[in-house]
Each structure stands twice: as C-alpha cells, then as structure tokens.
Amino acid sequence: MTRFVLTRLAQSAVVLLGVTLVVFLLLQLVPGDPVRVALGTRFDQETYDALRERAGLNRPLPIQYLDYVGSALVGDLGVSFRSGEPVTQIVIERLPATAALALFAVVFALLVAFPLGLISAVKNGSPVDHATRVFSQFGVSVPDFWMGIMGIIVFAGMLGWLPPSGYTSFGEDPWEWFLHLLMPSVTVGLVTAAILTRFIRSSVLEAMSQDYVRTAEGKGLMPRRVVTRHVLRNALIPVVTVAAVQLASLLGGVIVIEVLFAWPGLGRLTYDAVQARDYPVLQGAVLLVAALFLLVNLLVDVLYAKLDPRISVT
Amino acid sequence: MSEPVLSIENLSVSFSSRRGVARVVDGVDWEVHPGQTLAVVGESGSGKSMTVLAATGLSPRGAKVGGTVRLRGEDLGAMSEVERRRARGRHVGFVYQDPMTSLNPVMPVGRQVTEASEEHLGLRGDDARSRAVELLDMVGIPSPEQRVDNYPHQFSGGMRQRVVIAMALANDPELLIADEATTALDVTTQAQILELVESLQERLGTAVVWITHDLGVVAGIADQVAVMYGGRILEHGTVDHIFGSPGHPYTQALLAARPQPGVRADRLATIPGAPPVPHQLPPGCAFYPRCPVRGDERCRTEEPPLTEIAPGHRVRTFYRAPHSGIERPAS
Ligand SMILES: Nc1ncnc2c1ncn2[C@@H]1O[C@H](COP(=O)(O)OP(=O)(O)OP(=O)(O)O)[C@@H](O)[C@H]1O
Ligand SMILES: [Mg+2]
C-alpha cells in the first residue's frame, strides 16, 4: 500500500508538471498584454520596460518556463501583477474558504442523497421513489445561481435568519463562520445531492438485480440484511468515485456561487485574476486546483482498494 | 409412500412485455420424495430454471407466478413472507446455474458459505469458520483453511462452482436443487460431487432436483425424469420409463442425440430446428414444428394433454412413435 501511494505521488508530480506547461503555454496564446493592463492609465514606456524586465517577461520562453517551475518547486509561484503580493500566499489564503464550502456541500449532499437514493431504489415505483425522482430532476435542471438567489431572498431577505453574503473566518468567530457558510454550501450541496441521489438510486437498483442478491434471498436472509450485506457494499463502490469527482470539482471553486455570495474562495480568485489578466495568480490558482484534484483522486484509489477486494494495489 | 419434500401443482410463470405475454412455464407438476432424485431435462430456454426458481419464490421481478407449491407438506402460498423465507433458507439448498455471478464479489467465500447457517442455525464466529472449512473440504477445494478467506475472483470457474455447492449443502438441506451443478466440472470432479450428493441422500434423506442437459448423468443418479419443452412437461416417468420406453418423439430425439461411446460427435443425430420462442408458441403441440412424426392436423392445432400411459409414466402426445423414431446417420 505504501508503495502504491508513493508511486501514485510520483505520477501526480509528473501530471502537475504537465499542468504547469499547459497553463504556461495557454497564457502565451491569449491576447492582451498583462503588463499593459496592470499599468492601466499610468502607462509610460519606461515603467513598462522596467516592469517587463522585473517580471522576466523579456527572456526567451523556455527560460521563463524553467524558471517558473524551478521556483514553484520551492513554493515560490511568483508575485501578483496587480498587488505585488506573493502568489503562493494569495492562493493559500483563499483555500480555507473554498475547502469549507466544498466539504460542507459534499457532506450535506451525501447526507441527503444516501438515504434518498437507497429508499428510492429499494421501494422502486413507490410514492417515495417518485418524490425523490422529482427532487433530483429539479436539482439537476435548476441552475444553482437561481437557487442561491431564491435562498438569499427567502432566508436573508424575508426571514432574516442568515446573512445574505460575505465571509467570516473560523478563527475569528466560528458561529458567524457557520452562518455564512450555510447558504452557499447548501445551495451547491443541493445540486450535488441531486446528482448523487440519481446515481445512488441506479447503482443500488443495478446491484439488486445481480445474481448474488438472489443467492442471498435464497438463503432466507432478512431483507434488511440482504441490503446491508450484499447490495450496499457493491452499490457504493462506484458511488465513491462519483462523490469524489464532485468533491474535486467543487474544490476547484464554484465560480458563480462564490461570486454571488461574495465568498473569498479559489473560484472568486480565478474569476478576478482572469478579469485583471493577473497571470501569475491565475497560474497559481490552476496549479493548486490541479494538485487538489490529484490528491482527491489518490484518496479515492486508496479507498477503492479498501472497498473492492478485486483491486489489488501492491 | 412418504410425503413429498417438494410438490408443485400446475405451476406457471409468465412475463408481459410489449411483444406479448410469454408463458415460460405452463402447468408444470411434479414432486420429489425424501432420498429421491428428480432429474429435469430439456433444451436451453425450456423453463427448467424458471420452474425451480418460481417454486422457491426466487423468480425475477416482473414474473407472474401461478399454481401451488408445497414444501414439506406446507403450502408456500399460504405462508407469510417471513415463514416462507425461513422455510427456504433452512430446508432448501440451491446450487445456482451460474457460479460466476451467483457469489458476492466483495465477501469472502467462507462467510458466504455459512451465511445461511448463521441466519437459521445461529452458527457464529469460530464455529461458522470451521464449518465453512469443513464444507469447502467436502466439495474438494484444496487447502480450505486458506481458501476460506479468499474472494470469489480468486477462484477458477470450476472452484467457484464447488463453493456454490458447498453453500447449498451448508444447512444439511432436506431439499437440494441443483441447476447445472456439475456442468463446469471435469469428469472426475463431477463423479466426486455426484457421490457426495448420494451420500448426503443416504445420510439425511435429502430430496434432490437435478437440472441438466446431460442425459448420461441422469441415467446414473435419477429416480424420476421430467422432460421439459417450451415451458411444459412433455414426458415424465421413472428412469426406466424414459430410457427403456420413451413415449414422446422429443424424448426419443433427445436420447438419440446423446453422445455415446464409440460414436464420433459429428455422427450424432441432432434435432433439426430450434426450440420455440416463449411468446410465439405454436398453437398445437409445442414440438410440432420439429417433430419427425407429425401425426396429423390435430398435432398442429390442438395441444395434447399429459396422459398417463402406465402407472407413473405421463406423456404429452397424440402419437406415440415407434421406438427408433429418429434415424442415426448411416456410418
Ligand atoms: N426476467 C425474464 N424476463 C422475461 N423472460 C425471461 C426472464 N428470465 C427468463 N426468461 C425466459 O424464460 C424462459 C425459460 O428460461 P429458463 O432460464 O428457465 O430456461 P432453462 O431451461 O433453465 O435454460 P438453460 O438450460 O439455458 O438454463 C427463456 O425463454 C427465457 O428467455
Ligand atoms: Mg437454466
């Protein structure tokens, strides 16, 4: 298992290197000169040249790239064109907000989707099943920003229970942090819950139609045991992947929701960096998101091997 | 005579679909007594598996099942769901047809083998484990102490089949239903398994329903034989009846198609044509389209009844063919 993890970490490093290259090249292709944008109306040729010099932008591309990777290896992702702050610090600062949002959303989604999907499959065709299918259809087709706006109108505007937007850090005031987190994470979580409910339902149905479930019924096991021992474990193996993909994509930042709720996460940061053509920040954010994605994938593979004896990781 | 362990009366199974209603089992009846073996034979799709699955309440979703089934004299249809479940788990051992899919891929085989004993006999922990080892040993799995913790994917097809057999024998069942139980096994192992089942029958008086394509096995182990075709019984009698004086042209054709020592496989008679599709059964005798006898118009339009031609020997035909109804190709 240790060897498996180490191998995978090495592979992830290679993938990350590839990500840096792709991002680096892509940014060369997009139109617009970041230094010019950064200077705005204060433009004069001398400052411009000095800035380009300082950012190393007048060197040959391969050198620029190698320099970037070399610094990245020691944790230096450059400085923001706009604020001049180190990029590493900027992206790390944004991580807790996004991580909290993503984790809360996925936990909420699982808490909703697991029982709903299971009951709906076991009681296939019952009123509960129909209601569940309406819910998941709703969640999948209604845009998250609309749900977010509705949430703000109802819970912040009409009822006044929750703050409409903004963020308080956990260290500052845990209760305020929680109150601010609730609405954006539930909004994102509802969409995820809808996706997961559907998936869990069909995965459980699929498992229930397998021959080994008939074998279990033939043994005269209590129906509950047939489900817990034979259906669930088999049905959950694929669910792990889907839930993890959801988590990974949320960790990348939910741009619309973060913008809507003024949530200072990675999605918001990416959005702002694109607007300002702040390339170092954009690169840093993409790199961090890619790293998180790879990390989640690694965790899933380990979990998978634990759940499914057919997969050996030695 | 003793009371039958399992008796089924007028059992029918049908599926409705857009293409119409498919009666895959139609008016089947037979019984098995303690210590006896009933062989059910017939081509693929003739309804052999569906008959026993429906009889034990394991038919697939969407199946409509009719008829009366008695297990140890008790009407399963009159039982509560819980009673039926208990009766099945405690007294019936089932060797499922497909050992590759009948085992749970994420549970060690040992646990699967003794799961029914845990549920119905209260077997726990070390006792369950040593019972699993004993059962795996009994069906000829080498080094069972290690294998007991393995998962199904670590076994070959033949070994999985033995695991499924061990699982069926776990509770010393009064009724053993074996659906193509030895098809995936080599001849030696097959003989071992057959011996094992016979000793079980002697020791415990287990009644056996043995489903197979292999008429050679039937002659060796069965007391009675039911020949199925298109969801119906075409002939039913003792081994002597079926092999000595087969009454139905289909039975005769099956016997003629049986591999025999000294006859090369390519010289064997085959039955021309294919079995009927369940939702398009011919109006008369189900076998009519392929029948070498084809008595008259009645065979085509009217379904023959299952009639007793000798005590305990029933045949569903208007015309009993002369005994060598099917010619072997000249050699
Ligand atoms: N779930 C189902 N829905 C509709 N038809 C089915 C279903 N399961 C089985 N059948 C049909 O029922 C008929 C009888 O099937 P069954 O499995 O009993 O045949 P069998 O005699 O056991 O054949 P084999 O020797 O191949 O195992 C077949 O025509 C099959 O297509
Ligand atoms: Mg079958």
Q: What domains sit in chain B, N to C, each tagged with a CATH number? A: 6-106+151-316 (3.40.50.300)
Confidence band for B33, pLDDT divided at 50, 70 and 90: very high
CA distance A226 to A208: 9
Higher-pLDDT residue of B321, A276:
A276
Distance B20 CA to ligand 1 centre (A): 16
Give the H or E element holding residue A90. helix A87-122
pLDDT score, position B330: 37
Residue A106 and residue A243 in contact, taking contact as beta carbons nearer than 8 Å: yes
pLDDT, position B266: 63
Tell me the average pLDDT across B96-112: 93
pLDDT at B273 over 50: yes
Cite the DSSP H helix spans in chain B: 48-55, 81-91, 109-121, 125-138, 144-147, 157-169, 187-204, 215-221, 239-244, 249-256, 297-301
Which of chain A's residues have a Cβ under 8 Å away from the Cβ of B87? 220
- The reported pLDDT for the residue numbered A3 is 84
| Residue with more model confidence, A270 or A40 | A270
Chain B residue numbers with beta carbons less than 8 Å from the beta carbon of A308 are 105-106
pLDDT at B329 over 60: no
Bridge partners of B7?
A: B31, B70
Checking if the pLDDT of A68 tops 70, the result is yes
Question: DSSP class of residue B245?
Answer: S
Nearest in space to B255 (alpha carbons), one of B230, B234, B232, B281: B234
Cβ(B50) – ligand 1 distance below 6 Å: yes
Among the ranges given (A250-254, B62-66, B317-321), the one the predictor scored with the smallest mean pLDDT: B317-321
Q: Which residue has the higher pLDDT, A139 or B184?
A: A139
Best of B52, B100, B115 to mutate (most A CBs within 10 Å, chain A): B115
Whether residue A92 lies within 8 A of chain B, CB to CB, comes out as no
What is the rounded distance in angstroms from the CA atom of residue B109 to the CA atom of residue B90?
19
Model-level pTM? Answer: 0.84
Give the pLDDT of residue B326.
41
Kindly tell me if the per-residue pLDDT of A231 is higher than 90.
Answer: yes
**Contact across the interface for B104 and A309, Cβ inside 8 Å:** no
Question: Looking at the partner chain, which of B89, B101, B153 has a beta carbon nearest the beta carbon of A310?
Answer: B153
Ligand 1 and B319: CB distance under 6 A: no
State pLDDT tens for residues B278-305. 778 888 888 988 888 777 788 888 889 9
Q: Which of A204, A219, A304 to mutate to test the interface with B (most CBs of B within 10 A)?
A: A219
Q: Give A51 Cα–ligand 1 centroid separation in angstroms.
A: 78
Distance CA A188, CA A169 (A): 20
Predicted pLDDT at B322: 56
Chain B residues inside the 8 Å CB shell of A311: none
**Residue B35 near ligand 1, beta carbon < 6 Å:** no
Which of A24-33, A187-196, A285-294, B21-30 is predicted with the least confidence, judged by mean pLDDT?
A: A24-33
Q: Measure the CA–CA gap between A136 and A199, rounded to whole angstroms.
A: 10
Please answer whether residues A111 and A191 qualify as being in contact, where contact means their C-beta atoms are separated by less than 8 angstroms.
no
For A76-109, how does the pLDDT look when each residue is reduced to its tens digit (9 = 90+)?
888 887 888 899 999 999 999 999 999 999 999 9
Ranges A79-93, A210-224, B38-52, B159-173: which has the least confidence = A79-93
User: Between residues A272 and A82, which one has the greater pLDDT?
Assistant: A272
Of A211, A217, A310, the CB nearest to B151: A310
Q: Which has the higher per-residue pLDDT, B235 or B318?
A: B235
Instruction: Pick the range with the lowest mean pLDDT from A61-70, A259-268, B115-124.
Output: A61-70
Q: Taking Cα atoms as reference points, which of B308, B243, B236 lies closest to residue B31?
A: B236
C-alpha distance from A226 to closest chain B C-alpha (Å): 11
Nearest CB to B58; choose among A218, A237, A308: A218
Nearest to B115 among A211, A219, A310 (CB): A219
Task: Collect all residues of chain A within an 8 Å Cβ-Cβ radius of residue B98.
Answer: 211
pLDDT score of B176 more than 70: yes
- Asked if the C-beta of A215 comes within 8 angstroms of chain B's C-beta atoms, the answer is yes
Least confident of A120-129, A250-259, B18-27: A250-259
A212 at B interface, C-beta within 8 A: yes
Range B246-268 average pLDDT: 78
Stated as kind and residue range, the H or E segment containing A130 is helix A127-141
Q: Which of the four pLDDT bands, split at 50, 70 and 90, describes residue A313?
A: low
Using an 8 Å Cβ cutoff, are A35 and A52 in contact?
Answer: yes
Do residue A215 and residue B96 have CB atoms under 8 angstroms apart?
yes
**ipTM surpassing 0.85:** yes
Lowest mean pLDDT among A213-222, B79-88, B103-112, B288-297: B288-297
Cβ of B147 less than 6 Å from ligand 1: no
**Mean pLDDT along residues A10-38:** 81
User: Does B274 or B101 have the greater pLDDT score?
Assistant: B101
Higher per-residue pLDDT: A113 or A156: A113
> What value does the mean pLDDT take over residues A249-277?
88
Residue A110 scores a pLDDT above 90:
yes
A167-195 per-position pLDDT tens digit: 888 888 999 999 999 999 999 999 999 99
What is the chain A residue with the closest CA to B96?
A: A215
Q: Which of B56, B61, B107 sits opposite A218 (nearest CB)?
A: B56
Contact B233, B28 (CB under 8 A): yes
A55 contacts chain B (CB < 8 A): no
Whether pLDDT at B143 is above 50? yes
- Return mean pLDDT, chain A: 88
Distance between Cα B91 and ligand 1 center (Å): 25
Q: Which domains does chain A have, with CATH numbers?
A: 94-274 (1.10.3720.10)
Q: What is the nearest CA distance from B89 to chain A, expressed in angstroms?
A: 4
CA distance B14 to B23: 4
3-state secondary structure of B233: strand
pLDDT at B327 over 60: no
Percent of chain B surpassing pLDDT 90: 59
Do B119 and A222 count as a contact with CB atoms less than 8 A apart?
Answer: yes
Ligand 1 atom nearest the C-alpha of B228 is: 21
Residue B267: band (very low, low, confident or very high) from pLDDT cuts 50, 70, 90: low
